[in-house]
A and B are shown apart, each in its own frame.
Chain A
Amino acid sequence: MLREAVLRDEKDFSACSIFGMMSPSGKRVNGEPIIRAMANMRERSNGLGGGFAAYGIYPQCPDLYCFHVMFDDHVARKQTEEHLRRDFEVCDSGPIPTRPCDGVENPPLLWRYFLLPRSTDDCDIGEEDRVVRVVMEINVKVDGAFVFSSGKDMGVFKGVGFPEDIGRFFRLEEYEAYLWTGHGRFPTNTQGWWGGAHPFNILDWSVVHNGEISSYGINRRFLEMYGYSCTLHTDTEVVAYAVDLLLRRQGLGVEEMAAVFAPPLWSEIDRMEEGKRKLHAALRQVYGSLLLNGPFSVIISNRRQMIGLTDRIRLRPLVVGSGRDFDYISSEEAPMRLLDDTVSETWIPWGGEAVVFELKEEAVPELTVPIEVFRSEVPLAARGTGRAEG
């Protein structure tokens, strides 16, 4: 289902924009600020992709998986729903609320599903691994269906258009999140289409990326060995799956992950003290196929963290800043200043060195409302995010 977009004539050549904002204390804001931030960097994208990830937007049901899915047609939708019902109890489903918006044309069918995994006798595989498997199955097997968001209490909203238009199309002012990331796309190597916009997501992980991953082929083959199938025709997809593999499944820390994606040069490793040298040498040997070659800056996020990282020689921009309530990671400094007068210090991270912002331990309560209570209420999908339309 490659719905290709038309390249507008007036486009100058540029770069992607990435932006992330997170409140360590769990304070939520709606999508307005990040839409303004992305609009401020409009120069960097060309209308062929825009998107957002938002964390903390479904507080009514933080323990249900929420799938956002794009379909070519209702045949694909029905096939997908059959797949979903095999592994999940579908607690609620419906179209993702959107509004007509200039600059956003020809959208696919956009649906979301709130899902409770069925209990299973299969002890070999954990719940999250089962979710990953279902996502892969649908993306590979169902013609014209792509799951583009599969986390809990979070969601990805993306499509073809400038990010600010995509944000209005998805009515992001109606959602409140403590962590937002955004992306304006300037596609270089693959076509602009709805599934190819950023962020890329699996479970709670989402990734926005500026740059190009020349090692896509080898990264993809490595990930296939672990059951990840790349179906979205954009290099960044490998980063999302690699993060899931390293941080969730194999239990690496963020620093080690950075050392896999953007390892120090061998000349630097040779100068390290012995323990560190052995660690870095081992990481390069074991995970050489996950080295991300080529220029990149990325913002990786999950429900508790926002991580900024560039390639080891920093061939793409990334600026970091802290305000009173929010921390920021951005392609440019201007948008953080635009949003937040309290941003005092900003700095440029070193290439290959991860910048990590974390939610305070007590910041987000786990399940707040029992699922049974919640299910008896008005269908979620019918009421946007649970608040009345203003």
Chain B
Amino acid sequence: MSVGKGISVIRRGKLPRFVEDSTGYEVVLRAEGLHWRELNRLVKREAARGAARIKLEGVCGHRYIGTGVREPVELVVRGVPGNDLGAFMNGPRVVVYGNAQDGVGNTMNGGEIIIHGRAGDILAMGMRGGRILVREGVGYRAAIHMKEYGNCRPVLVIGGGVQDFLGEYMAGGLVVVLRLHGRKGEFERARHVGTGMHGGLILVRGEVGEQQLGREAACVPADEGDLEILGPLVEEYTRHFGGDPDQIMSGVFTRIYPRSHRPFGGLYAY
């Protein structure tokens, strides 16, 4: 059916949701020629109507895809989604076949984002819950001010390397960096890791140099407990993107943790 300029909504019969017991349907939205406001209005409308899967074709810089969506719908994105993909999202699963831009998962509350490519800067900024898996590397300031509370513990798995300021002002949650993709020596260039970090945990495959860390972070070789946390996440990563989990797990891992939970406690007190 046609619902206006450049829009074609194709409804297909009942398909299983990724939440298995439901009875939703699949919708295809063509993003070419649509402003992100129109595209996201359609996404929200279809999600509210009970769509199980919404496929977005021809996405090119459309911002805020999945933002504020609360229903457990699957959004499949083909193309390059614009900034703030999944911002304030609470429930959906977003699968991107391509690279993502800046601000993926900004203040995301719940749900899942799976990126079959790389992501830009400030990935998972202020993320509060849910999980993000990225097949390749990411830009600057991944997991900046990621946080956790009670049962809400966000998880970010990065398949490639990172650039500077990973985990800046990090307050909670878990970041895994697998360093499986990207140019040789790329991770070693990353600086200021964990600057201002005061909570949460970063697990990195391989060794981490002291000079890579910000003043507020420290590192030690990962222990048994860390590897127990890692195992299922690595398995999940390889399920999405391929690879041999045993081989990935066979290397050394490093744990980066905050030196203090209140590094700036004395800053304004005298």
| Contact surface of A with B, Cβ cutoff 8 Å | 40-41, 43, 268, 271, 313-314, 317, 319, 332-335, 337-338, 346, 348, 350-351
Contacts and interface: CB of A to CB of B under 8 A. Distances in A.
Interface stretch (B38-46, B78-86, B221-229): B78-86
A224 to B, nearest CB: 34
Contacts of B165: 313
B32 to A, nearest CB: 10
Given A313-B165, A317-B102, A333 B120 contact: yes
Interface of B: 36, 60-61, 63, 79-80, 82-83, 98-99, 101-102, 120-121, 139-140, 163-165, 189, 191-192, 211
B120 A334 contact: no
Contact of A338 (B61, B99, B163): B61
30 contacts: A40-B60, A40-B61, A41-B61, A268-B191, A313-B140, A313-B164, A314-B164, A317-B120, A319-B101, A319-B120, A332-B61, A332-B82, A332-B83, A333-B80, A333-B99, A333-B101, A334-B60, A334-B61, A334-B101, A335-B60, A335-B61, A337-B79, A338-B61, A348-B120, A348-B139, A348-B163, A350-B163, A350-B189, A351-B163, A351-B164
Contacts of A338: 60-61
Contacts of B191: 268
Given A314-B164, A338-B61, A348 B80 contact: no
Contacts, number: 57
Contact of B60 (A271, A319, A337, A348): A337
Contacts of B60: 40, 334-335, 337-338
Nearest to A315: B140
Contact of A43 (B63, B80, B140): B63
Nearest to A319: B120
B140 A314 contact: yes
Contacts of A332: 61, 82-83, 101-102
Contacts of A40: 60-61
Contact of A351 (B83, B99, B140): B140
A290 to B, nearest CB: 23
A222 B232 CA distance: 58
Contacts of A351: 140, 163-164
Q: Is the interface of B mostly helix, strand, loop or mixed?
A: loop
Contacts of B82: 43, 332, 334
Given A334-B60, A337-B98, 12 more contacts: A40-B60, A41-B61, A43-B36, A271-B211, A313-B164, A314-B121, A314-B139, A317-B120, A332-B83, A332-B101, A337-B79, A346-B99
A12 to B, nearest CB: 11
A41 B35 CA distance: 11
Contacts of A43: 36, 63, 82
B49 to A, nearest CB: 28
Contacts of A268: 191
Contacts of A314: 121, 139-140, 163-164
Contacts of A271: 211
B258 to A, nearest CB: 20
Nearest to B59: A334
Nearest to A321: B99
Interface centre among B61, B102, B139 (most CB of A within 10 A): B61
Nearest to A267: B211
Contacts of A337: 60, 79-80, 98
Given A314-B163, A332-B83, A333-B80, A348 B101 contact: no
A335 B211 CA distance: 37
Nearest to B192: A313
Contacts of B80: 333-334, 337
Nearest to A40: B61
A347 to B, nearest CB: 8
Contacts of B121: 314, 317, 348
3 smallest A-B Cβ distances: which pairs? Answer: A334-B61, A334-B80, A348-B139
B140 A348 contact: yes
B251 to A, nearest CB: 25
